[in-house]
Amino acid sequence: MARVTKGEGPQPPDGLKWEEFDYAIVECPWEVRLVDLRKETVQPGDYHRGVLFGKEAELRWRKLRNGSFRWVLWREAGDTGEEAERLDEGQVILWGEPVGDAKPPTWWEPRIQRWIQEYPEKFEGKRVALEVARYRVRAKHPVPGGKEEEGTVTLERYRGLVAVEEIQATEPVGEEA
């Protein structure tokens, strides 16, 4: 069962095993980047928010106005944090259609009028998707009167990038064929 830990402080949590993460999506006012962490490093303090992810772990963070970080760390195995029950897995197809024999490998997305070259070369000629897993986590939340209630929340965790071999059409929900 996966575990999720959250916190806030002057930096992301101590004791991170950077080798657990394969990719990062980082954001600041002037850019959003997908980074292959096997080729390049990321300093969380350089970005307002981001997510580092891999098969075994994910770290999401947001830099607050006071300069501290609010973060959530997922680990597939561990003994600290709240238990998270895995529900299912899926994919989110990312922007861009592959462009022929372009070098370096390139994808074009007409809806945002942008050439994309950040996807790893191993996906050359293929659509790229974000592999996600969905979990159910028990969480406390504030209610009026200064009290707390406990309930469940369904969350998604990024696990990696995958090639989309074939896009399957699905039937619209609630409509008859």
pLDDT digit string (tens) for 99-117?
Answer: 888 888 889 888 888 888 8
pLDDT of residue 173: 47
Please give the tally of structural domains in the chain.
Answer: 1
Is there a domain that residue 98 lies in?
Answer: yes
* Phi, psi angles (nearest 5°) of residue 35: -125, 130
Question: 159 CB contacts (<8 Å, ≥6 apart)?
Answer: 53, 54, 55, 58, 89, 131, 132, 133
* Separation CA 146–CA 152 (nearest Å): 20
Q: What is the DSSP letter of 20?
A: G
pLDDT of residue 160: 95
Is there a domain that residue 176 lies in?
Answer: no
Is there a domain that residue 177 lies in?
Answer: no
Specify the residue for token string 């009290």: 147
pLDDT of residue 44: 85
Give residue 90's domain range.
2-164
- Name the helix (H) or strand (E) containing 156: strand 147-164
Is there a domain that residue 169 lies in?
Answer: no
Asked if 159 and 133 count as a contact pair (C-beta separation under 8 A), the reply is: yes
Is there a domain that residue 93 lies in?
Answer: yes
* Separation CA 27–CA 84 (nearest Å): 27
- Which residues does the chain have with pLDDT short of 50? 169-170, 172-173, 177
Is there a domain that residue 175 lies in?
Answer: no
Identify which of 80, 76, 87, 104 has the alpha carbon closest to the alpha carbon of residue 160: 76
Is there a domain that residue 35 lies in?
Answer: yes
* Phi, psi angles (nearest 5°) of residue 18: -60, -25
Q: Kindly report the CA angle at 143 between 137 and 149, in degrees rounded to 5?
A: 40
Is there a domain that residue 138 lies in?
Answer: yes
* Dihedral sign from CA coordinates of 143, 147, 149, 154: positive
Identify which of 79, 48, 61, 78 has the alpha carbon closest to the alpha carbon of residue 7: 61
